[in-house]
Amino acid sequence: MAELVEVTFLPDDRTAWVSPGTNLVDAGAAAGVEVVTGCTRGMCGTDPVVVREGADGLAPPTDDERATLDRMGLGPEYRLACSAAVRAGRVVVELGSF
Ligand code: FES
């Protein structure tokens, strides 16, 4: 079994340990944090988060996710929670209005 990934959500400072491949919405649910979503496919841009630590612990963005973030004017430190899947180590993300 693959090692679990530690995911911390700011500003509430809640943490969950989840399997690689889990997206940040499901990781948030495991941590007791609700991440509001829309399309859940990386298209609508409802769920941006800022990666504060451990960007390498996330799988790279898909073309759809990156295109949506670009359209929103959000840089490489941002990810869409529905589309960003954890892969290893420790990740810290911040929720908010961006
Ligand atoms: S819910 Fe639409 S981009 Fe994530």
66 three-state secondary structure: helix
Residue 89 Cβ contacting ligand 1 at under 6 Å: no
C-alpha radius of gyration, the chain, whole number: 12
From ligand 1's centre to the CA of 80, what distance in Å? 6
> Would you say residue 1 has pLDDT above 80?
no
Considering the domain delimited by 5-95, tell me its CATH architecture: Roll (3.10)
What average pLDDT does this structure show over 22-38?
A: 97
Of the candidates 63, 57, 47, the residue with the CA atom closest to the CA atom of residue 85: 57
Of the candidates 53, 56, 77, 54, the residue with the CA atom closest to the CA atom of residue 66: 77
From ligand 1's centre to the CA of 47, what distance in Å? 5
The count of other CB atoms within 10 Å of the CB of residue 55 is 15
Q: What is the pTM of this model?
A: 0.95
pLDDT of residue 98: 73
The pLDDT tens digits of the residues spanning 52-90 come to 999 999 999 999 999 999 999 999 999 999 999 999 999
